[in-house]
Amino acid sequence: MAVLIDTTRTIARINPALHGQFIEFLGECIDGGIWVGPDSEIPHTDGIRQGVLDALKELEPPVLRWPGGCYADTYHWRDGIGPREQRPTTFNENFGTYELDDHAFGTDEYLALCEAIGAQPWINVNMMTGTPAEAREWMEYCNRSGGTDLAALRAANGHEAPYDVRLWGIGNEPWGGGGTMTPSSYVDAYRAFASSMPRFTGSVFETPATYPIASGPDGNKPQERVTWTRDFFRALTAYRQPPIAGYDLHFYNWNIDHEDDTPTAFDQAGWDRVIAGCLELEDVIVEQWGLIEEGLDAVPMPESSLDTRLERIDLVVGEWGNWHRDAFFVRPALRQQVTMRDAITTALTLDILQRHADKISIACNAQTVNVLNSLILTDGDATVLTPNYDVFMMYKAHRGATALAVEPIDAASGVHAFASVADDGTVLVNLTNPSMTDAADVTLEFAAPVRIARRETLAAQTPTLHNTVGAPDAVRRVVEALDADAATTHVVHLPAGSVTVLHAMPARSL
């Protein structure tokens, strides 16, 4: 048996935004992690930790979501603009952070970071303790080109040109910490917030320049997520629809029921359990996409030609990642180490997202720095890149490529596979060996001869190995340039517990 790779069996273009990241005022994700301040002795650029900035510039995350998460629904944006010495001090209780919040990192600092690393901003507005007027003014501050008091305020704070923020999340997890709402009560609130959004166009007939994102269900509740989405669309399609472009599903790979299992100490059962847990996301995506289509089918035809019928809503996965039990008890809040167990689930999750590129427009890893499924950890003045960072770097080549229909698991080897084809004809193949102990050989069968020109492999000497300040490169990807002959069949050897990306060049381009 072999993994068959045919470049004519296409799914959809992989939106680079599927490789998005998420930062929140939680633990030391931002304060103390990304943000050290302009007076810090830690190397920085305008208060942004240099090690983090350099790593993110190399990664080029397509999307960066902020300020939450749960934090968004108690955040008032005016607290975080203007001279820092004049900004108020509040208290941050977000998920056990329990720290004073001086609001030194606010809208302009965040958007400067996005500009520096080439990320599209996604701002979540405060729906629970804020108002539609407050959200609208935030949008005006960010995007109005000039002539208004808010545009002048932005210019006075150092950015005369509009930021042109397109992605706006309306609330966060309203089924839980975002208000413990019902779908109908959330839709009622959403209607006011979304309808008050400025269009930033010259005509009501032009497509709005903003992309409003509604909160979807708790993806970890099998019954609730179905009823939430059905009830959401039932309320949404009653009478006229407000603007809506995306529907934000959150899904965490929980590992919280086993006291002896920690991010860096686990047995074979713990390894297998966590890796199997991430695969549920595929079923959730298929289920939720079907419910979205079911909901859209029920949208009534408008009575007037001036009204438009809602026909498409993208599925968005605004938060995803591994969440281990220890994260609830550590300080700073939700800090986790990262081993190959996490790197493998990160790779498999990205494969799932890319395989459903026809359904999903945006996805964000939770979170980028120092929290949960981190790419970057900081310790004092040190910056450490986790194995998850390597996975995202290895997968960069898939951005903008076309996903291919490939059997996701090779029956012969147990290896997970994904493939895409880039615009230049390069075939990119991901091979993930989920076995904690056993190497594997997988046979690849291409429709036409290819040469494997490049191989990137991420593996560890032991399953619990991780990167630290003392050993920052204990788990690091290996990049090899290969000089193999062109053929339709290739056998690839994979180490135990590894992630591999192959770059295959078609014979005609050699």
Residues 59, 472: Cα–Cα separation, whole Å: 18
The pTM is what?
0.97
Catalytic residue among 99, 109, 319, 456: 319
Instruction: Select from 204, 180, 88, 69 the least CA-distant residue to 126.
Output: 69
Query: Is 5 a member of any domain?
Result: no
pLDDT number for residue 309: 87
Catalytic residue among 24, 140, 173, 456: 173
CATH of the domain at 458: 2.60.40.1180
Instruction: Select from 203, 173, 169 the least CA-distant residue to 67.
Output: 169
Query: Is 411 a member of any domain?
Result: no
Give yes or no: residues 389 and 490 share one domain. no
Give yes or no: residues 317 and 450 share one domain. no
Q: Is 471 exposed, middle or buried (0-12, 13-18, 19+ CB in 10 A)?
A: exposed
Give yes or no: residues 367 and 429 share one domain. no
- Domain extent for 280: 15-400
Per-10-residue mean pLDDT of the chain, 510 residues long, equals: 93 98 97 98 98 98 97 97 97 91 98 98 98 98 95 97 97 96 97 94 78 97 98 94 96 96 97 98 98 95 85 96 95 96 98 98 98 98 98 98 97 96 97 98 96 97 98 98 92 98 82
In total, how many domains does the chain have? 2
Give yes or no: residues 88 and 181 share one domain. yes
pLDDT number for residue 190: 98
Residue 489 near residue 2, CB atoms below 8 Å: yes
DSSP conformation letters of 107-130: HHHHHHHHHHHTPEEEEEE--SSS
Query: Is 2 a member of any domain?
Result: no
Give yes or no: residues 258 and 151 share one domain. yes
Give yes or no: residues 391 and 423 share one domain. no
CATH of the domain at 243: 3.20.20.80
pLDDT number for residue 96: 86
**What radius of gyration do the chain's Cα atoms show?**
23
Any catalytic annotation for residue 173? yes
Give yes or no: residues 152 and 271 share one domain. yes
Q: Where a domain ends, among 335, 367, 400? A: 400
pLDDT number for residue 291: 98
Q: Where a domain ends, among 400, 433, 455? A: 400
Give yes or no: residues 343 and 426 share one domain. no
Residues 472, 24: Cα–Cα separation, whole Å: 24
pLDDT number for residue 510: 46
Q: Is 461 exposed, middle or buried (0-12, 13-18, 19+ CB in 10 A)?
A: exposed
Query: Is 3 a member of any domain?
Result: no
Instruction: Select from 105, 109, 108, 202 the least CA-distant residue to 162.
Output: 108
**Alpha-helix runs per DSSP H in 41-131:** 50-59, 107-117
Neighbours of 118 (CB within 10 A): 13
Residues 399, 428: Cα–Cα separation, whole Å: 11
Residues 398, 114: Cα–Cα separation, whole Å: 21
Strand, helix or coil for residue 344: helix
Residue 103, sorted as left (phi over 0), alpha (psi -120 to 50) or beta, turns out to be left
What is the total residue count of the chain? 510
Query: Is 7 a member of any domain?
Result: no
Give yes or no: residues 130 and 241 share one domain. yes
pLDDT number for residue 247: 98
Any catalytic annotation for residue 480? no
